[in-house]
């Protein structure tokens, strides 16, 4: 190769297939003899099923069966491990949340199943629901991802008492629901006691093991296929109720079954970002040096299960503050169990912490960027470990220069453009990245072409493009000679494609395998034998990797225009600079950062799931009323990638970049709104009614 390919902005090899519709997502697959299932969801949020009348539905055209708690196969809905969710599989009559599955209609066509589902009549014994965060039963969880729900370092109470300047404010983020382009979908087919599942999932092996436990069969008897995933962002990380329901329906019908979750049902049983109430306290010296930080979070969970939104990790792991205290409290509500949503914890926690830092900067008369630089941490402030790499200063400098931050008038409500108030705000981005064991199989044929196999998935991040680039660079061959096979449980095991870990996990396994393949080539004078070479290995993080803290970093700078009469907000400029370690493909990396920023703008200005307090029903369970930005709402976003390897993080030298873009971006917009208007919004989203005074 004359030019290095690693990091080059190569086009996605799967791109043409996606834009022309040739690539099949789960619901695009058809199996001979397949029928369709549609979930009947509850219309109450708390109570019990008193009776189900399915007589009209059963006599409707094309109907094969109506599956209810009376005739549903008996299965095990319990959790396999602590990170799983309890499943709602028609095993009882209790109803805990709006849109909980209560029956399934099975018919020859999707339209017939949909019609039959509407004919199912359910009578309930209704009890008043609880959906307000302040009204739920509060408790401290046993742990948050292996760490205590309360934590302290130093003496924060004493430090606050001595601090020259203190600030304590409450910040709120609403319930938000995932809305990837592809909704959930599952196809289930039994062949004797063997089960084949096509599923829109971030982890085929997780689905395999959960279904094995649910049906009491050997995991090896289950094959899970995820050809392509049309966006996930956390909601497809777990096995939700519709997956075993599809398999149960297939067993009941004796035929393959396709079950597609509708858009309104995406607001039902498949998780969401929980609402939070965060109290942040800052104590500082007159020069802005932080002496103490406290961060107390109240977030929602379901009646029978537990999920913690770890908002505190952002404040805990970013700034150099010697005295720190946090707590995470849960409130039980009549809602479905929350789950991970892009940047879980840091996305919500960064809004609170970075808003508070902005408030402190105005209280002290210190530039918001300068305040952050004065509290820059060279090591992880909680563990004391050195970072595997940290180029946050470079992010600040590059983004500020591109944005023109130094020309900003620091006075609030000082800048206008015509009749519009103009404001600029900034915030820090930070997100821990992880690595898990991963197995790959790599084969080089006699002609020099290479096949790499791994059971990871492609959810829009460029999997079949990026990992061939990585292998090609090491093997010194063109990337078009490397093919990446992925997306089913017949392939070597991969971790869940979530948690900003996929590049570090799968990428590192590819690196180690390619290096071994190169050694084999060298031993054969650079020519593979007639039957080729094959390498299969599991790569796991060695103990020495734990000696460093690995985080991706970034800096957000936003400009907004606010109509002083109407209270409308438009983001007019946005610049983000990011340290993601070694960039494997500049084009796909930019897309990840851009997508995160867009979602942060959406958090700041649009997204808000609304419950009816009387019924507990979600009132905007559709994309006409659950607002997300359109192209017209987003300006030209400038993304700057700060180049640099990270040899201490993992063999690939890469840090996870799928989530860092959303962390802090909502706060940058909120801070810009304050600069424009002098009105501090601490309760997202920022809507016109909150700005008209």
495 contacts: CB under 8 Å, gap ≥ 6: 203, 436, 437, 438, 456, 501, 502, 505
Active site residue 277: no
Separation between Cα atoms, residue 641 and residue 402, nearest integer Å: 13
**Phi and psi dihedrals of 398, rounded to 5?**
-65, -45
Tell me the three state secondary structure of residue 589: helix
Separation between Cα atoms, residue 531 and residue 399, nearest integer Å: 52
Identify the active-site residue in 14, 96, 607, 659: 659
- Secondary structure percentages of the chain, helix, strand, coil, to 5: 30, 25, 45
**Phi-psi map region of 131: left, alpha, beta (phi>0 left; psi -120 to 50 alpha):** alpha
Separation between Cα atoms, residue 287 and residue 283, nearest integer Å: 12
Q: Which long-range contacts (CB under 8 A, 24 or more apart) does 613-616 make?
A: 613/131, 613/132, 615/44, 615/45, 615/98, 615/129, 616/44, 616/45, 616/46, 616/97, 616/98, 616/129, 616/130, 616/131, 616/334, 616/335
Dihedral (CA of 161, 166, 170, 176) sign:
negative
Instruction: State the alpha helices, DSSP H only, in 574-634.
Output: 586-605
Separation between Cα atoms, residue 483 and residue 462, nearest integer Å: 13
Q: How many CB atoms lie within 10 A of CB 678?
A: 15
Closest CA to 500 of 234, 148, 286: 234
Please, is 19 exposed, middle or buried when counting C-beta atoms within 10 Å of its C-beta (0-12, 13-18, 19+)? exposed
Tell me the three state secondary structure of residue 601: helix
- Active-site residue list: 659
């Amino acid at each position: 190769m004359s030019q290095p390919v690693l990091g080059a902005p190569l086009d996605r090899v799967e791109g043409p297939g996606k834009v022309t519709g040739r690539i099949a997502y789960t619901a695009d697959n058809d199996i001979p003899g397949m029928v369709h299932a549609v979930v009947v969801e509850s219309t109450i949020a708390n109570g019990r099923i008193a009776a189900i009348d399915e007589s009209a539905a059963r006599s409707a055209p094309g109907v094969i069966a109506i599956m209810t708690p009376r005739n549903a196969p008996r299965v095990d809905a319990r959790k396999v491990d602590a990170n799983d969710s309890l499943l709602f599989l028609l095993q009882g009559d209790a109803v805990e949340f709006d849109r909980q599955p209560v029956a399934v209609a099975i018919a020859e066509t999707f339209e017939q199943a949909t019609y039959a589902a509407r004919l199912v009549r359910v009578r309930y014994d209704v009890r008043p629901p609880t959906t307000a965060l302040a009204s739920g039963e509060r408790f401290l969880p046993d742990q948050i991802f292996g760490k205590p729900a309360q934590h302290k370092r130093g003496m924060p109470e004493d430090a606050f008492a001595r601090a020259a300047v203190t600030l304590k404010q409450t910040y709120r983020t609403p319930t938000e629901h995932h809305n990837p382009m592809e909704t959930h979908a599952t196809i289930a087919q039994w062949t004797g006691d063997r089960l084949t599942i096509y599923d829109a999932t971030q982890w085929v092996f997780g689905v395999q093991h959960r279904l094995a436990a649910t049906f009491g069969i050997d995991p090896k008897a289950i094959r899970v296929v995820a050809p392509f995933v049309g966006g996930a962002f956390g909601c497809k990380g777990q096995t939700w109720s519709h997956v075993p329901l599809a398999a149960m329906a297939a067993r009941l019908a004796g035929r393959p079954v396709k079950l597609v979750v509708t858009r309104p049902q995406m607001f039902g049983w498949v998780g969401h970002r929980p609402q939070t109430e965060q109290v942040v306290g800052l104590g500082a010296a007159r020069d802005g040096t932080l002496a103490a930080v406290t961060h107390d979070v109240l977030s929602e969970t379901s009646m029978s299960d537990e999920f913690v939104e770890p908002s505190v990790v952002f404040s805990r792991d970013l700034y150099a503050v010697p005295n720190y205290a946090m707590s995470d409290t849960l409130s039980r509500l009549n809602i479905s169990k929350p789950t991970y949503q892009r940047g879980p914890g840091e996305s919500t926690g960064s809004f609170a912490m970075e808003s508070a830092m902005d408030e402190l900067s105005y209280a002290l008369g210190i530039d918001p960027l300068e305040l952050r630089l004065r509290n820059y941490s060279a090591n992880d402030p909680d563990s004391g470990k050195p970072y595997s790499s940290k180029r946050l200063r470079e992010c600040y400098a590059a983004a500020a220069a591109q944005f023109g931050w130094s020309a900003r008038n620091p006075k609030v409500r000082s800048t206008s453009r015509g009749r519009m108030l103009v404001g600029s705000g900034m915030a820090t981005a930070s997100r821990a990245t992880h690595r898990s064991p991963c197995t790959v199989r790599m084969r080089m044929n006699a002609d020099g072409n290479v096949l790499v196999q791994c059971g990871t998935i492609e959810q829009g991040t460029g999997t079949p493009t990026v990992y061939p680039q990585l292998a090609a660079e090491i093997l010194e061959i063109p990337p078009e000679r490397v093919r990446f096979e992925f997306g089913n449980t017949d392939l070597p095991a991969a971790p869940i494609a979530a948690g900003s870990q996929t590049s570090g996990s799968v990428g590192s396994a590819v690196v180690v395998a390619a290096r071994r393949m190169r050694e084999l080539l060298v031993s054969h004078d650079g020519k593979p034998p007639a039957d080729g070479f094959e390498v299969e290995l599991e790569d796991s993080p060695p103990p020495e990797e734990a000696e460093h803290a690995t985080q991706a970093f970034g800096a957000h700078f936003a400009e907004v225009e606010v109509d002083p009469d109407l209270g409308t907000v438009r983001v007019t400029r946005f610049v983000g600079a990011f340290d993601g370690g070694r960039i494997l493909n500049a084009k796909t990396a930019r897309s990840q950062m851009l997508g995160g920023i867009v979602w942060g703008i959406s958090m700041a200005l649009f997204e808000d799931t609304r419950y009816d307090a009387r019924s507990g029903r979600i009132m905007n369970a559709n994309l006409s009323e659950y607002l997300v930005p359109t192209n017209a709402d987003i300006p030209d976003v400038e993304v700057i990638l700060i180049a640099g390897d990270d040899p201490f993080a993992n063999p690939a030298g890469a840090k996870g970049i799928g989530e860092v873009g959303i962390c802090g971006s909502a706060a940058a917009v909120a801070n810009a709104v304050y600069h424009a208007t002098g009105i501090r919004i601490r309760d997202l989203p920022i809507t016109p009614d909150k700005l008209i005074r």
